[in-house]
Amino acid sequence: MTDVDAEIIEQARRGDPLAWEKIVTRHTRRVYNLCFRFVGRVDQAEDLTQDIFVKVFRNIESFKAESGQFVTWLMSVGRNLLIDYYRQSKDDRMTVSVTSEEDDERSILDSVPASEPSALAEMEREERSVLLRRALDRLAPQLREAVILRDLEELSYEDIERILKVPEGTVKSRINRGRLELARSLQKLRLRTREI
Amino acid sequence: MKVECHQVENWLGLYADGVLGEHQSSMIRAHLGSCETCAVLLLELEFAIALCKEYPELDPPPQLIERVLERTIGQHRSLSWTEYLRELFRPLYASPRFATGACLAAISLSIVMNALGINLGEVRWSEITPQSVVDSLHRTANVAYDNGMRRLNGSKILYQIQSRIEELQGDDSQPQKRPQAESESRDRPRESSATEHRLAVRTLDPQCGQVLEGATAPQAGVL
């Protein structure tokens, strides 16, 4: 953490609204993308981003600069909230009847923000994103968060250890299993798409 | 030591990351060379990682920051526009990837500028006109062409080819003169070396010069 970051965080802890505003402005994009990668819907990602910042604001006193970077701590808080959210929504999902593949696909497509479908490459990229989203949704939560943190957030193994609060061996095992399951899931989805 | 497919599966995700030791990596490489199933699985895994890397990063809606501030400190944005933009893009320009990209772009630009003969220290804004850029490009192209032609003309291989062509042309036009020309070219070096030898002896030993000169005179006559 740089001196500037440490100073701003210290000011925010003392209750300086301008310092807090700087923190929010600086980290909103990252938190928002983390949420979107976990839940796959922009409206939910927005709500969750707000919830995470509210939680960070209330608990900023508990952040210890010597235990790691602020961003890692922020992601850790975010991850805990996202896991809570997942547990709640899982109960909701259990009551929902199984939807058809077409409905599933449509809902995912709706969740991705509309963009200019001018180029074929852009369309293909979006298709791949949808495919990945569906494959990620099929992973077990522990494996999914490991893959998201490593391959989408591109965090180091050490940072993931700190965020998940598990030993290095567990992190590596989850990343390995998560990647393998993701690869197999993508393979199946691609084959099914070709059949259609 | 040979490894089984299920063992490879336990490592494949980390192998793709390059975090395994050399011993494990070499065992996996050996296995992948002989097992098509695992080789295909690795390809699928690399495809999955590549998809993750290209997953789009979304821009948060502009009002999201306002909403967060409203819910936490109960007020709207108070940062000035410059501060706001600086903070907004700080994670982007403070990242190592951005720094590397910026350095590479600067190096590429300097190479291009150098090739175009532009020295930024000497350039004035008033001098940067379309005509001056075109002139500069034209001049650079001419200099490059001249340098290239000079090197080509000065190259040894060209001389060799040229002399060979001349030889062949000479063969076609005057085949009967060749033995004579060959004997002349054979004798010429001997003559010059003998002359050089005499001169060298004179220079080194002026006292014995006459004796030596006398001794060498018949040789010169023979030559």
Residue A192 sits in the same domain as residue A110: yes
Residue A115 sits in the same domain as residue A87: no
In a domain, B202, yes or no: no
Residue A9 sits in the same domain as residue A76: yes
Contact B58 A32 (CB under 8 A): yes
Give CA separation, B86 vs A115, A179, B78, B105, in Å: 26, 36, 14, 21
Nearest CA of chain B to the CA of A117: how many Å?
15
Domain that holds residue B84: 63-128
The residue among A68, A96, A124 that closes a domain is: A96
Residue B122 sits in the same domain as residue B164: no
Nearest CA of chain B to the CA of A85: how many Å?
18
Residue A82 sits in the same domain as residue A145: no
Residue A195 sits in the same domain as residue A102: yes
Nearest CA of chain B to the CA of A95: how many Å?
31
Residue B84 sits in the same domain as residue B73: yes
Contact A22 B83 (CB under 8 A): yes
Residues 89-108, chain B, touching A (beta carbon < 8 A): 90-91
Rg (CA), chain A: 19
Q: What is the pLDDT of residue B221?
A: 41
Contact A46 B19 (CB under 8 A): no
Residue B111 sits in the same domain as residue B147: no
Residue A67 sits in the same domain as residue A87: yes
Q: Does A27 touch chain B (CB under 8 A)?
A: yes
Q: Let me know: does B13 contact A180? Beta carbons within 8 Å.
A: yes
* Tally of domains within chain B: 3
Residue B66 corresponds to which amino acid? E
Report the C-alpha gap between B25 and B7 in whole angstroms: 12
Residues 145-174, chain A, touching B (beta carbon < 8 A): 147, 151-152, 154, 157, 172
- Per residue in A73-95, pLDDT (tens digit) is 999 899 889 888 877 776 555 54
Domain that holds residue A127: 98-196
Q: What is the pLDDT of residue A4?
A: 60
Contact B71 A32 (CB under 8 A): no
Band (A130; pLDDT cuts 50, 70, 90): confident
Two tokens, residue B209: 């010069």
Predicted interface score ipTM higher than 0.90 = no
Contact A176 B10 (CB under 8 A): yes
Give CA separation, A71 vs A109, A159, A160, B187, B198, in Å: 30, 10, 12, 88, 89
Two tokens, residue B54: 């290209």
In a domain, B180, yes or no: no
Residue A74 sits in the same domain as residue A112: no
Q: What is the pLDDT of residue A53?
A: 95
One pLDDT digit (tens) per residue for chain B, 223 residues: 678 898 899 899 999 988 888 998 999 999 999 999 999 999 999 999 998 988 888 889 988 999 999 998 887 777 777 777 777 777 666 666 677 787 888 888 888 877 776 676 666 666 667 777 788 788 888 888 888 888 877 777 777 888 888 888 877 665 555 555 555 555 555 444 445 555 454 544 444 444 444 444 444 444 3
Residue A48 sits in the same domain as residue A113: no
* Tally of domains within chain A: 2
In a domain, B221, yes or no: no
Candidates A18, A53, A151; nearest CB to B52: A151
CB pairs < 8 Å spanning A and B: 129
Residue A123 sits in the same domain as residue A177: yes
- Per residue in B139-189, pLDDT (tens digit) is 888 888 888 888 877 777 777 888 888 888 877 665 555 555 555 555 555
B-chain residues within 8 Å CB-CB of A152? 52, 55
The residue among A63, A96, A129 that closes a domain is: A96
Q: What is the pLDDT of residue B215?
A: 44
Q: What is the pLDDT of residue A169?
A: 93
Q: Let me know: does B55 contact A130? Beta carbons within 8 Å.
A: no
Residue A138 sits in the same domain as residue A87: no
A-chain residues within 8 Å CB-CB of B51? 128-129, 131-132, 186
The residue among B137, B154, B175 that closes a domain is: B175
Q: What is the pLDDT of residue A174?
A: 95
Residue B135 sits in the same domain as residue B120: no
CATH number of the domain that residue A23 is part of: 1.10.1740.10
Residue B33 sits in the same domain as residue B90: no
